Structure 1
Amino acid sequence: MKLFMGFLLVSGIGWILDLVSYITLTQVFGLPAAYGNFISSMIGVTYVWAVALKRVFNRGGANGFTFLPIYWGYQTLSGLAYSMLISFVIVELISFKVDQVVTLPAAVLAKLLVTPANLLTNFMFMAILTKFMSANADGKV
């Protein structure tokens, strides 16, 4: 539980980076939600990897760079899947006119709705992946 709480804190900051870039891409630049989600997600997950690897999972060094492409590969597949889910949720929100009741744009509301599942799957993957890595040599967390 302690690992998850640490990951939750780091991911919260990564999620803010993700959400701000998502809103900017979709609402300011008019990028379709699926594309905006993919790009913004990669910004957030790269931050989470860099910080959580050392601070939460006590892993890092050259090891971190070796496993980063694997994490990006997972995040690419995950990002595509969650982007498709977000697109589906947007259609449903509009069809049920939820976007008229809630003051958030449907694209932003859909992103908020899928975030908990995304957080959980990201934590599970990173926890498994870091099991294959050696601990930090300095032992600092």
Structure 2
Amino acid sequence: MQMLLSNYYRQFFSFIIISGIGWLIDISGFIVITTLFGLSIFHANMISPIPAITYVFWVSTKKTFDEKKSSIKTVYKYLIYFLYQLILLILVSWFGQWIYDIVTKSNLIEIGVILNNLKIIVKFMITPISMLMNFLVMKMLIEKV
């Protein structure tokens, strides 16, 4: 039991580091898309994670998880993961836009730091949700399917 927990924690830590790099890829794209192109949080959050999703999947498959020998090729697992990501992105992007809309209609928007950085603040708020879900789904997909 102790060994299983130890392996789980090792995998989680490894996934967090790899996802952190993916998040830097994502946030860089998010900043460019929202700043230069003025897109909404919903739309920017639908576009910016695509390179990060791809990076995290392939690196985590090789470096973090113990890939199960399966009749399903890794490329098909990637497509399954990508479809899952699209669903998650829609839900999380909608949630992020909802938070943004609530804050912009509240008195909090009068605080200059919040007003000037609200899109980034919302991105930071929704990231842990995605990261935890991604770890659980990837672990299941790579090791169990």
- Find 1:29's aligned residue among 19, 23, 37: 37
Count how many residue pairs are aligned between Structure 1 and Structure 2.
133
Structure 2: 5+ residue stretches without partners: 1-8
- Find 1:118's aligned residue among 123, 130, 133: 130
How big is each residue's C-alpha offset from its partner over 1:5-45, in whole Å with a ceiling of 9 and x where there is no partner? 00000000000000000110011111221111011122211
Alpha-carbon separation, structure 2, partners of 1:49 and 1:109: 25
Moved over 4 A (4+): none
- Find 1:38's aligned residue among 39, 46, 64: 46
Structure 1: 5+ residue stretches without partners: 134-141
TM-score normalised to structure 2 length: 0.83
Going from structure 1 to structure 2, the CA distance change for 1:88 and 1:58 (only over 3 Å counts) comes to: same
Q: Is the Cα contact below 8 Å between 1:89 and 1:110 reproduced in 2?
A: yes
**1 or 2, which has the higher helix percentage?**
2
Who is 1:5 aligned against?
Answer: 13
For 1:41, the aligned partner's letter is P
Identity of aligned residues (%): 27
* RMSD (CA atoms): 2.0
**What does 1:59-138 correspond to in 2, within 5 Å?**
59=67, 63-101=73-111, 102=113, 104-132=116-144
How big is each residue's C-alpha offset from its partner over 1:72-99, in whole Å with a ceiling of 9 and x where there is no partner? 0000000100110110010122223434
Which structure has the greater CA radius of gyration? 2
TM-score normalised to structure 1 length: 0.85
Alpha-carbon separation, structure 2, partners of 1:34 and 1:59: 33
Going from structure 1 to structure 2, the CA distance change for 1:19 and 1:131 (only over 3 Å counts) comes to: same
Alpha-carbon separation, structure 1, partners of 2:97 and 2:67: 35
Alpha-carbon separation, structure 2, partners of 1:131 and 1:60: 5
The alpha carbon displacement at 1:63 in A equals 3.0
For 1:95, the aligned partner's letter is K
The alpha carbon displacement at 1:60 in A equals 8.9
1:57 aligns with 2:65: yes
Task: Tell me the SS of whatever aligns to 2:144.
Answer: coil
Alpha-carbon separation, structure 2, partners of 1:98 and 1:54: 44
Going from structure 1 to structure 2, the CA distance change for 1:55 and 1:100 (only over 3 Å counts) comes to: farther
Going from structure 1 to structure 2, the CA distance change for 1:45 and 1:94 (only over 3 Å counts) comes to: same
